[in-house]
Amino acid sequence: MDYKKYISEKIKVEGVSSEEIYESIALPPNLEMGDYALPCFKFAKVLRKSPVMIAESLKATIATDEVISEVSAVNGYLNFKINKNGFVRATLDKILSQKDAFGSSNEGEGKTVCIDYSSINIAKPFHIGHLSTTVLGGALYRIFNFLGYKAVGINHLGDYGTQFGKLISAYKRWGDKDTIEKGGIRALNELYVRFHKEAEEHPEYEDEARAYFKKIEQGDKECLALFHWFKDLTLKDVQKIYEMLDIRFDSYAGESFYSDKMQPVVDELKEKGLLTESRGAQVVDLEAYGMTPCIILKSDGSSLYATRDMAAATYRKNTYDFYKCLYVVAYQQNLHFKQFFKVLELMGKDWAKDLVHVAYGMVSLEEGTMSTRKGNVVFLEDVINKCIEKAYTILNEKNPDLENKEDVAKKVGVGAVIFGALYNSKIKDIVFSYDKVLNFDGETSVYVQYTCARANSVLQKGGVPDSYEIPALTSEEIELVKAISVFPETVRSAAEKYEPSYIARFAVDVAQKFNKFYFDCKILAAEDEKTKNFRLALTNATMQALKNAFALLGIGIPDKM
């Protein structure tokens, strides 16, 4: 049962919809107040009464029944207590019957959500700065699929621009095939860094690079062959990381894919009188909307990101007829997205309102900032491998006899990297710390994984009961059931706000409440069989909820730790 829905339908507030009331109902901070609470402060303006009076008058209209056992009005809050046995039975039965589907729904049936994420640059390092877009986009991809939408994962490759001319120039001057084949993306990056160092002494190299890129655009066989070779090497390298992080895509259509699709956009802008000339460039004036001009074509006639992104958005609408199109890109690009969304709107594209910039903060290591051109980058693969190695060392110290230690270390290490990027609100900047993300006692994936291993050990010893009865309930048991019951609502909120951190925080909250239950309530040594079977069923339901949460984040759970 959706208790919030049940309660919201009982409450009638003049001028306020039941949907608004549903959204306002929250969980009180402690059990004494009730199981659900409706703050009445936001209704004061509409009803011209104090929140205290509103709560009191609403209380008089709601009768208790087999679901709602008590209604109270306290300091402007309308509090509800639910029939505990019915609530516990309904929650556990739902989880144990739905299993891996618990928390899912078909609310997105028939709707497509395009998600543009990771979007790596060809021949450039897949570094720690790419972590957030990759795991945030991957989590949103799983969440929307889980809710019945058809998610389309798009890796909008950065495979267009003068950097390819620079690489060809560098390769022809200093490179050799065997070294590049063996070294892959790292060897290509070394060439790129060398080009920039040498170009400081030889500025003519920059002109040569532009000429090589022009040749790519004109279809020169040799330059195109090198371009495709660089691209294949990059994708082969990054695929290893995508497999580690459980990331998948449905499309790798990058910037070069849209090179022949930009002209219709430019033509339409001209036709609608939106283009004006500024210092030789073609721009759309956005001063009326508080923005600088959106440059469509440079003075030499070449395109920019905005031109290509507008062509890509149009192609995606025509191809997928999306319900929403999400761009998981750092907040530094806020203006870019506001500009090209506004230009599409000015072109009369009513679907421009369905384009969403999912902005996130930056990730850095404690050592400081990075620069691809200068060569001081931190490869994401190195960060993941270091986490796996550190996890192995910690596991070896804590449990030297653990079976499949390498596999467990991989799940723990990779999980720590993903969780470290997803636990906080996406907009926050993150300073990545190995010690912090691998802490067994903190708000970490390791803590949740260890909790699951503990629960699994209990179930292996006690077995999973075929049926259970509800005994006299303790506060620890009720708090744990309440914590796991909100998973479906948490998943919906994570989708609505594009915020997987809700699911990460749900997992930590459940793990903390399970551990309190584990230490305060005897499970295997319970006072009677009825209590033991109930607690085993509750342990099993908790395991299932945590497993489902971590599956959406892309994190594996070891059986033992």
Q: What pLDDT sits at residue 216?
A: 86
Pick the last residue of a domain from 53, 82, 111.
82
Q: How confident is the model at residue 440 (pLDDT cuts 50, 70, 90)?
A: confident
User: Is residue 168 in some structural domain?
Assistant: yes
Q: Residues 416, 399: contact at Cβ < 8 Å?
A: no
User: Is residue 141 in some structural domain?
Assistant: no
* Mean pLDDT across 210-223: 88
- Counted domains in the chain: 2
User: Is residue 231 in some structural domain?
Assistant: yes
Pick the last residue of a domain from 50, 82, 114.
82
Does 368 score more than 60 pLDDT? Answer: no
Q: What pLDDT sits at residue 437?
A: 79
Q: Phi/psi class of residue 113: alpha, beta or left (left: φ > 0; alpha: ψ in -120 to 50)?
A: beta
Q: How confident is the model at residue 219 (pLDDT cuts 50, 70, 90)?
A: confident
Does 97 score more than 80 pLDDT? Answer: yes
Does 271 score more than 90 pLDDT? Answer: yes
Does 372 score more than 70 pLDDT? Answer: no
With residues binned 3-state (H G I as helix, E B as strand, rest as coil), the percentages for the chain, rounded to 5, are 60, 10, 30
Strands (E), 398-455: 430-432
Measured CA distances, 232 to 159, 184, 382, 456, 513 (Å): 11, 10, 21, 43, 48
State pLDDT tens for residues 280-311. Answer: 999 999 999 999 999 999 887 777 889 999 99
DSSP annotation of 67 reads: S
Note the pTM of the prediction, 2 decimals. 0.89
**CATH number reported for the structural domain that contains residue 30 in this entry:** 3.30.1360.70
- Measured from the Cβ of residue 89, the count of other Cβ atoms closer than 10 Å reads 15
User: Is residue 264 in some structural domain?
Assistant: no
User: Is residue 182 in some structural domain?
Assistant: yes
* Mean pLDDT across 147-167: 92
**Nearest alpha-carbon partner for 113 in 78, 64, 146:** 146
User: Is residue 30 in some structural domain?
Assistant: yes
Does 17 score more than 90 pLDDT? Answer: no
User: Is residue 74 in some structural domain?
Assistant: yes
User: Is residue 460 in some structural domain?
Assistant: no
* Mean pLDDT across 403-407: 94
Pick the last residue of a domain from 82, 115, 136.
82
- At CA 491, angle to CA 490 and CA 497, rounded to 5? 85
Domain of residue 13 covers 3-82
Q: Residue 29: CB partners within 8 Å, gap ≥ 6?
A: none
* Buried/exposed 320-330: b ≥16 CB within 10 Å, e otherwise: bebbbbbbbbb
Separation of alpha carbons 139 and 136, rounded Å: 5
